[in-house]
Chains A and B, each alone.
Chain A
């Protein structure tokens, strides 16, 4: 009886927790279809006007394109640098390996406000504020840990004899890497790439320092849309972003599931 009571209590608490976690995310979607210039929930009249505004307003479009460009470039550089680092840290013999590993996760530890302040000061010196290059350089540093951590996890369970087998059968090191190693660690690389992309795409704090009238990213414009003057377009952008992230992660999850099924079948 008391066990049942405990379970009941646990379930109630979990439902409440779940509501707190999910509700804010869900509230924003209906609000984005409101016809009112004031944010209201539930909306009295419905329309697509904030979506139309997002797609037609030049400043929203410009910041979206900037963010997209930066995030794609960041993903490429972070995946290359981060994957190389994972190989080095997992397979290499390296003096001060602990120090290098610590350095790689430093961007996760240092509060973003401090990172922002530091890189803003540096970017001012070399004239990289409000430039795509400046954003890409800084966001890459923030995204790299996710790539390295994910690829290192894939590599740790990787059986290196597979590579030896491929090479003993005559494959060149490059062929071995492309045909044996890469397909096996691909899930780790993909997860790392997705995290690197999202890190850049979502980043507000550091970007606030680097932004200006010359170049503003989407999250920074959203920030001014909720802080300076409330612009209901933010609800439309938020809903689109939600849809985008949830789709991306769901796709990653489904890809993993299919792959595991296939692997399980091939081992039968």
Chain B
């Protein structure tokens, strides 16, 4: 709607009592006002009030406990930065932080490398095959993470199906160690994270007009060049969204690395659980949690300058 015809901006604040409202409508009511859209001085109108219960609920159940954890990292056992000093002073713990980042970055790159061609194939496949490809991505998405990680342990261990098959075929003479090490963590996390990469990628690629590629080729570009210079840039939003989802979730992983990783592959999440459940070191665990949360939020804040972060999570499934 444009207000270019009238010089007066579309401002109907009822506070300007000095000016008589020319309309016969009740004060503050826009002409074809749908019910409940009256402007008030309250925080909200009738509809908006419906969002308040959950806001209050989440504040009490989630945000306040998180704030307490944050506070506790500075006060337990003594006031000050002792927990953080202990964390950054010990290479054992900083190694865990580095390992967490290295794992998350590697997982993100591998899922992108696998997910991109997969999502691309989904966009060019005939409808039936497209549905099959989609179901293949969705089935693990829906099934328990614990079940999948456990199943991978059974498949990948030294006496697992893969090693047994390769041994019986004579392709290898000793089993390949694929669990209780970094390889196991990577396989497990990529398996779990792949749907989070493929779905945003597919959502973006589906919207790309393929005639743009034809146009580029019509103008003399070779197919590979057209793909690289036209299709890939247009899918950047999906790449960013998928990578963000995978990376942020990978940082906080616990179950999969705990099951498939070895003693050298401890990530922050596992360290937090250890510190609380076995060492009962609440202050230190809280500091670890604060570090992980702050890293996550800073990454989101940086990402939100380039992409609409809220929309990614709103459209997660």
Contact = CB atoms under 8 A, between A and B. Distances in A.
A120 interface: yes
A241 B47 contact: no
A79 B300 CA distance: 28
Residue from B66, B68, B146, B152 whose CB has the most chain A CB atoms within 10 Å: B146
Residue from B144, B155, B258 whose CB has the most chain A CB atoms within 10 Å: B144
A115 B54 contact: no
B63 A103 contact: yes
B143 A242 contact: yes
Contact of B47 (A93, A118, A242): A93
A263 interface: no
A149 B136 contact: no
Contacts of B203: none
A202 interface: yes
A21 B44 contact: no
B174 interface: no
B292 A82 contact: no
Interface string A227-244: 100000010001001100
Interface stretch (A8-16, A53-61, A68-76): A8-16
Contacts of A111: 249, 251-252, 269, 292-293, 296
Interface range, B side: 35 or more
A189 interface: no
A94 B252 contact: no
B20 interface: no
Contacts of A138: 61
Given A111-B296, A119-B61, A202-B145, A82 B54 contact: yes
A191 to B, nearest CB: 8
A6 to B, nearest CB: 8
A113 interface: yes
A102 B310 contact: yes
B114 A107 contact: no
B144 A202 contact: yes
Given A85-B50, A92-B44, A219-B146, A27 B317 contact: no
Contacts of A116: 273
B191 A21 contact: yes
A21 B117 contact: no
Which secondary structure dominates chain B's binding surface?
helix
A10 B121 contact: yes
Interface in B242-300: 248-249, 251-252, 254-255, 258-259, 268-269, 272-273, 276, 282, 285-286, 289, 292-293, 296-297, 300
Interface in B57-80: 57-59, 61-66, 68-69, 72
A185 interface: no
Contacts of A20: 187, 190-191, 194
Nearest to B113: A13
Interface stretch (B35-43, B84-92, B232-240): B35-43
B167 to A, nearest CB: 14
Given A11-B121, A14-B117, A25-B139, A118 B289 contact: yes
A107 B55 CA distance: 12
Contacts of B101: none
A109 B254 contact: no
A85 B53 contact: yes
Given A18-B136, A238-B147, A118 B316 contact: no
Interface range, A side: 35 or more
B8 interface: no
Contacts of A180: none
A185 B131 CA distance: 24
B208 interface: no
Given A25-B148, A118-B65, A249-B142, A89 B51 contact: yes
A187 interface: no
A10 B300 CA distance: 32
A114 interface: yes
Contacts of A114: 66, 69, 252, 272, 289, 292-293
B26 interface: no
B62 A115 contact: yes
- For the complex of A and B, 10 pairs with smallest distance between CB atoms: A111-B252, A92-B48, A88-B51, A24-B151, A94-B48, A88-B50, A92-B47, A118-B65, A122-B65, A113-B269
Interface of B: 34-37, 39, 43-55, 57-59, 61-66, 68-69, 72, 114, 117-118, 120-121, 133, 136-140, 142-148, 150-155, 159-161, 164, 187, 190-191, 194-195, 223, 248-249, 251-252, 254-255, 258-259, 268-269, 272-273, 276, 282, 285-286, 289, 292-293, 296-297, 300, 310, 313-317
Interface of A: 2-3, 10-11, 13-14, 17-18, 20-25, 27-28, 31, 39-42, 81-82, 84-85, 87-89, 91-98, 100-122, 137-138, 140-141, 144-146, 148-150, 152-153, 160, 164, 167, 195, 198, 202, 204-205, 208-209, 219, 222-223, 226-227, 234, 238, 241-242, 245-246, 249
